[in-house]
């Protein structure tokens, strides 16, 4: 009996190591994402197209629209999110154009709607293919189902962390087992970061300085964002690893 269980234990240990490697790889990718985004920005600038300049111009246009500016800004944020444009300029700009309170509200609405639209594109554009692939592998299917059951907590933790690439995750979650309801409700995790970044933007007072070295800042707020992000990043890495381990253990046991 003991001899028969040894291969199962060995396979389980290998699977656990694999999951840990995947978790660490995902964590490292998230940490390197800002550098990759900066590189992509440099390439875009060299090619004559600078998304940040385009968004700054759009913010200046929104600022002169009067009462309808809020609706246009939300629509702009949705479009930028789906198109993988850097949302940080829009978030900071909301503080300049609308102030901290209204700016935070408009950014949250735009980010939530944009994230939902990207999620639906991922869900209906690629989920069927992913489902067919994981159905053939019971272990992947078990992990996908486990992530789906814990979807709210996982999405919430990644929303609290500014380390994870927001635009990329919107599409990625669409091909997981996370339900649309849990995904949308977990958007509340964006609120703390949204308010802080909108506040930092409000300190600028000038759209032209957004995203530049001349933009005024607040070290206390910046360190608060970093600390919250670090804690959330560690928490989601550990939590996802634990969920995957449990799913694999249950599959091997069966």
Say if residues 162 and 229 touch (Cβ distance below 8 Å).
yes
For position 136, what pLDDT does the model report? 67
**Contact criterion met (CB below 8 Å) for 118 and 112:** no
pLDDT of residue 108: 96
Measure the N-to-C terminal CA separation of the chain; round to a whole number of Å.
16
d(CA 185, CA 173): 14
Residue 212: the pLDDT is: 64
Report how far residue 157's alpha carbon sits from residue 229's, in angstroms, rounded to the nearest whole number.
9
What is the sign, positive or negative, of the torsion defined by CA atoms of 203, 207, 210, 216? negative
CA 87 vs. chain centroid, Å, equals 11
Give pLDDT, residue 11.
47
Helix (H, G, I), strand (E, B) or coil at 205: coil
- The angle at the Cα of 35, spanning 61 to 234, to the nearest 5 degrees, equals 105
Q: What are 198-226's pLDDT values in tens digits?
A: 998 888 777 777 766 666 677 777 777 77
Q: Looking at residue 247, what is its pLDDT?
A: 67
pLDDT digits (tens, 9 = 90+) for 28-66: 444 334 444 444 445 444 545 677 888 888 898 998 888
Question: pTM for the complete prediction?
Answer: 0.72
User: Residue ranges of the domains in the chain?
Assistant: 2-253
Q: What is the pLDDT of residue 114?
A: 95
Residues of the chain with pLDDT under 70: 1-49, 130-141, 143, 211-216, 244, 247-254
């Amino acid at each position: 009996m003991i001899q028969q269980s040894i291969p199962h234990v060995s396979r389980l240990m290998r699977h656990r190591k694999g999951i840990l490697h995947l978790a660490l790889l995902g964590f490292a990718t998230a940490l390197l994402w800002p550098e990759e985004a900066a590189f992509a920005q440099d390439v875009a600038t060299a090619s004559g197209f600078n998304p940040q300049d385009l968004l700054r111009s759009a913010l200046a246009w929104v600022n002169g629209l009067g009462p309808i500016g809020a609706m246009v800004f939300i629509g702009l944020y949705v479009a930028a999110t789906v198109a993988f444009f850097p949302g940080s300029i829009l978030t900071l700009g909301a503080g300049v154009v609308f102030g901290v309170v209204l700016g935070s509200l408009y950014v949250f609405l735009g980010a939530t709607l944009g994230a939902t639209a990207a999620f639906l594109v991922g869900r209906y554009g690629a989920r069927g293919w992913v489902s067919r692939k994981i159905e053939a592998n019971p272990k992947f299917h078990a992990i996908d189902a486990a992530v789906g059951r814990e979807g709210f907590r996982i999405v919430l933790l990644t929303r609290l962390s500014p380390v994870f690439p927001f635009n990329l995750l919107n599409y990625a979650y669409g091909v997981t087992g996370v339900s649309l309801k849990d995904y949308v409700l977990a958007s509340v995790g964006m609120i703390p970061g949204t308010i802080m970044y909108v506040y930092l933007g409000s300190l600028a007072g000038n759209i032209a300085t957004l995203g530049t070295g001349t933009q005024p800042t607040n070290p206390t707020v910046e360190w608060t964002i970093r600390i919250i992000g670090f804690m959330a990043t560690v928490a989601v890495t550990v939590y996802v690893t634990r969920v995957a381990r449990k799913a694999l253990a249950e599959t091997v046991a069966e």
